[in-house]
Structure 1
């Protein structure tokens, strides 16, 4: 999950974009119904994209579609979850809802409209070819057996990876590490400065989990997901080994002291942008720091001049090359009870692959869910090089999900990794705890 959006939106105090006089749930009655003409009003509620970007997307759509309006409300993430749950229980779902794959989408599946007909009507029978494969795969994550519907479609996708401060590495003569041994050697060589060689914001469960999944897929590609579906186990020695390598980040002195007390946002991100770390595990979304419309951009972020993304180093005895892990940043769904499905479909598909999508991508908010959309303006060759690496080289090859299907197992994994980090759990015990949660989840 890309948390900078959460932080920014929180600071906006759940600001409302009152673009029409109408507010509330799915549109109904009067001249807001629209119908087959695709005119009228729809409501949109989410935590992402951020308010400023959403405003631009709304303006682009309504300007191109006279007679339409979009009533949009952007929350911080925790408040959004409460609002969505409240509206679902009172049958006042917004027409268009922000979602994440798996648990959040499945929680509201019975309130959501299948979207494949909307997609085919807009883009044709081969509509799936437009998307990066991992996005569509994750869109159906958690569907019951036999349910092939798409209840959400991705608007933004991402890789999880590491970032280097190239100014620091160049000054110390350190190359970006490609193997675990190179990572250890690099952090040792970088010690002694006024920065963390490898800043690990291990306070956040989501970050612990995505780092572990990168390690696990480099140890044994795909094995974690076999443990998820019950065809293997989290206690498989290879997954225990992945817990062990997670622990080595702490015991081998790779992570900074106090890592378990540092959050990714705002603390870790702010420190990295201030030049206080040589490397940090984040994801493709970090390119948004170079948004050309951003004011007061620090020097490192201007055109991405001080940064370079790289994949998590390979693990001894594991895969020969670093594996690609990632997936959906944010997806959109349409309420089953919308009174204006045609307009809701038109807005959703425009924001995925139309003028609204172009506005969104122009801000470098994250990577587009569909292939071939690029920012209309790059501010530096470095920025364009990084963008091309992530959209052309990485995203088409993302095979492994940064998400787990079960929220209970996701929580258990985060807790187990915290226990390993503090030394309260051995890798074996951590694996056993996650496996116990997995067995319970699979039993329903």
Structure 2
């Protein structure tokens, strides 16, 4: 996801770390033969500088072992992964998301429960936040209890405010839809966009919609995904309607459907050019204590405040928590060294590499008990504790769909509403038509 940071933008930045190799599987040694002591890692997250620190930590404790990593922007990672799957050159360890993305490559992946049990014992599931274990098998066929990926990072999806802009305007973050509309009006006319919506990215459209849908009618959208209610259910049509209101009510900026999250929107937000943006817990990584030259707003999270998506009229009385797994890791079933791949994966999740990951605040860890060794401000620590102690344990609703086809159908329907090419009712009908084929 995060990225994130993380999640991704259109401008591609691909960085090779460690031993260079272009194909998946073990990297070739000097003789041209596969080197079984090298593990290839491909993902969009963790970000490059964090991944570098993780690799250094692992290799320091595992002399002779190497990790060849390439970190992509998210859209380019999806293209690369599809190409590798088609050519049977999958990386040894790869970044995934639960549900649609993991299920798309399930046939290429090795079940991980034996790896986990050998590393952490038979009660290994207790190490993880419950939402991570719950989501790890999203979309598995009936009767298939395998874990094809395990979470490395978890998160909430939420909104972020530029606290300096809000303080200067004498405003508080909005808690209801009506307050969101009014706050946007109050902040209009200034140098900063009141609500910056990077609606070009399908992942972001979907996570914003799922926050809206669960505020309108908690859990109904997943009943539609399961086929027990229709996508044309009035509650879901209402959720599509309120997504559309982001555009018709003047909340989102003009041209939102053409703005990507990474790098464009996040660069604008970090520069102080927006008062609000929909992202998630991973934004805390902007204050990574291991980085230098941190922008003023991000230093110690001094300029930011996270808040939940406002409630919708007639919906739930309180904002609902949406999130779960941010990034998970899988192992190719064709890896030349499954033991070493397992060692890399588990160390990235809960070992020395994981501590480096958490130290950079790339996102909230998937296992309990991990915390940064250093905080750079009281506000940074307060935000971290808010996510870890208060918000994440309350996450009930997933930010993902299980089916790749349904995931795309919803994203396409939201784009059509945003551009005026479909009404909320027509959008719901288009998703129901795809649902009927599953």
Fold similarity call, TM over 0.5: yes
Residue 37 (structure 1) aligns with: none
Residue 328 (structure 2) aligns with: 331
Q: Distance in 2 between matches of 1:262 and 1:82?
A: 20
Greater shift in the superposed pair: 210-219 or 2-11: 2-11
Q: Distance in 1 between matches of 2:257 and 2:43?
A: 30
Residue 65 (structure 2) aligns with: 68
1:322 matched to 2:319? yes
- Cα pair 2:23 2:91 within 8 Å, conserved: no
Deviation at 1:380, TM superposition (A): 0.5
Q: Distance in 2 between matches of 1:366 and 1:244?
A: 31
Cα 1:46–1:257, aligned 2, differ >3 Å: closer, same or farther? closer
Cα 1:187–1:132, aligned 2, differ >3 Å: closer, same or farther? same
Residue 377 (structure 1) aligns with: 374
- Cα pair 1:27 1:338 within 8 Å, conserved: no
Cα 1:290–1:238, aligned 2, differ >3 Å: closer, same or farther? same
- Cα pair 1:9 1:51 within 8 Å, conserved: no
Of the three residues 267, 272, 280, the one matched with 1:283 is 280
Q: Matched residue of 1:299: which SS?
A: coil
Q: Distance in 1 between matches of 2:8 and 2:426?
A: 38
- Cα pair 1:288 1:365 within 8 Å, conserved: yes
Which stretches in structure 1 are left out of the alignment for 5+ residues? Answer: 34-39
Residue 108 (structure 1) aligns with: 105
- Cα pair 1:22 1:71 within 8 Å, conserved: no
Cα 1:47–1:251, aligned 2, differ >3 Å: closer, same or farther? closer
Q: Distance in 2 between matches of 1:234 and 1:13?
A: 38
Deviation at 1:172, TM superposition (A): 1.2
Runs of 4+ in structure 1 deviating by more than 6 angstroms, as ranges, are 7-12, 20-23, 27-31
Q: Distance in 2 between matches of 1:31 and 1:251?
A: 57
- Cα pair 1:159 1:324 within 8 Å, conserved: yes
- Cα pair 2:38 2:67 within 8 Å, conserved: yes
* TM, length-normalised to structure 2: 0.92
Cα 1:265–1:111, aligned 2, differ >3 Å: closer, same or farther? closer
- Cα deviation per residue 1:310-359 (whole Å; 9 max; x = unaligned)? 00011122112111111222211112232322221111111101110010
Cα 1:44–1:21, aligned 2, differ >3 Å: closer, same or farther? closer
Q: Matched residue of 1:371: which SS?
A: coil
Residue 16 (structure 1) aligns with: 16
Cα 1:24–1:404, aligned 2, differ >3 Å: closer, same or farther? closer
- Cα deviation per residue 1:31-71 (whole Å; 9 max; x = unaligned)? 954xxxxxx33222223222322221111112112232223
Of the three residues 265, 268, 278, the one matched with 2:265 is 268
Q: How large is the Cα RMSD of the aligned pairs?
A: 2.4
Greater shift in the superposed pair: 197-206 or 426-435: 197-206
Residue 114 (structure 2) aligns with: 117
Matches within 5 A, 1:200-211: 200-211=197-208
* TM, length-normalised to structure 1: 0.91
- Cα pair 1:20 1:69 within 8 Å, conserved: no
Count residues with an aligned counterpart: 435
Residue 142 (structure 2) aligns with: 145
Q: Distance in 1 between matches of 2:19 and 2:218?
A: 47
- Cα pair 1:178 1:314 within 8 Å, conserved: yes
- Cα pair 1:160 1:282 within 8 Å, conserved: yes
Residue 43 (structure 2) aligns with: 46
Q: Matched residue of 1:405: which SS?
A: coil
Cα 1:171–1:79, aligned 2, differ >3 Å: closer, same or farther? closer
- Cα deviation per residue 1:3-46 (whole Å; 9 max; x = unaligned)? 4345889878523224389975247998954xxxxxx3322222
Cα 1:417–1:20, aligned 2, differ >3 Å: closer, same or farther? closer
1:199 matched to 2:196? yes
- Cα deviation per residue 1:215-239 (whole Å; 9 max; x = unaligned)? 1001111110110010111111011
Residue 36 (structure 1) aligns with: none
Residue 253 (structure 1) aligns with: 250
Which stretches in structure 2 are left out of the alignment for 5+ residues? Answer: none
- Cα pair 2:271 2:295 within 8 Å, conserved: yes
Q: Matched residue of 1:249: which SS?
A: helix
1:305 matched to 2:281? no
Cα 1:250–1:44, aligned 2, differ >3 Å: closer, same or farther? closer
Deviation at 1:209, TM superposition (A): 1.4
Residue 401 (structure 1) aligns with: 398
Q: Matched residue of 1:161: which SS?
A: strand
Deviation at 1:74, TM superposition (A): 2.8
